[in-house]
């Protein structure tokens, strides 16, 4: 039986440690509001060994695409918030902070349930940081000062703060601020 998947190729060998941490964070995570890791490994692309990660395919659309169609209802926004909070709680139970809660990283399924995707920027608090002080990526409005300084006292509060901004955007029907990348 064939299974659809979302395939993520990692072409930059300098990101190998970050990719390995994403894989380790996702292994054995089973939650209806989190993307499921199916497989990872190496494949040859253009004669070069390339790291891949295969995720369960999530039928639906990204929340940023959904927001461009206009405001979501209060009930729809609340359902997304409940699903993402549940996902964040599961991550936090393993001392993992997602660090990139944004409409582009939330998939909305046809049944209106939400799934949090992309653990590429996640930080397992038991690991040393890979983010240099004063370097970060993500949305400026969501990047709290502690994250911008790569502090070790990071908690899931930053994910909840980011989710609050995303819920505001759902209700407004517009994404307020752009992405930054200072790394």
Annotated catalytic, 100? yes
Cα separations in angstroms, 167 against 85, 171, 180: 11, 6, 20
Domain span holding position 118:
5-181
Give me the catalytic one of 83, 100, 118, 159. 100
Q: Among 40-49, 69-78, 147-156, name the one with the lowest average pLDDT.
A: 147-156
Q: Is the pLDDT of residue 128 over 80?
A: no
**3-class DSSP state for residue 181?**
strand
Split at pLDDT 50, 70, 90, the class of 133 is: very low
Q: Is the pLDDT of residue 170 over 60?
A: yes
Q: What is the mean pLDDT of residues 8-24?
A: 84
CATH of the domain at 82: 1.10.510.10
Ramachandran bin of 161, using left for φ above 0, alpha for ψ from -120 to 50, beta for the remaining angles = alpha
Question: How many independent structural domains does the chain possess?
Answer: 1
**Predicted structure pTM score:** 0.81
């Amino acid at each position: 039986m064939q299974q659809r998947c979302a395939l993520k190729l990692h072409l930059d060998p300098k990101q190998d440690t970050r990719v390995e941490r994403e894989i380790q964070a996702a292994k054995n995570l089973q939650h209806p509001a989190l993307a499921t890791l199916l497989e990872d490994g190496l494949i040859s692309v253009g004669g070069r060994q390339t790291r891949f990660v295969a995720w369960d395919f999530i039928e639906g659309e990204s929340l940023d695409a959904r927001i461009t169609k206009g405001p979501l209802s209060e009930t729809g926004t609340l359902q997304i918030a409940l699903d993402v909070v549940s996902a964040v709680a599961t991550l936090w139970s393993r001392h993992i902070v997602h660090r990139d809660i944004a409409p582009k990283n939330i998939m909305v399924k046809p049944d209106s349930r939400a799934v949090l995707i992309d653990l590429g920027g996640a930080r397992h608090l038991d690991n040393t940081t890979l983010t240099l002080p004063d370097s970060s990526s993500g949305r400026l409005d969501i990047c709290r000062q502690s994250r911008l300084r790569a502090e070790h006292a990071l908690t899931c509060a930053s994910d909840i703060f980011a989710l609050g901004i995303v819920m505001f955007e759902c209700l407004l029907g517009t994404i307020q601020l752009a992405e930054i990348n200072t790394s």
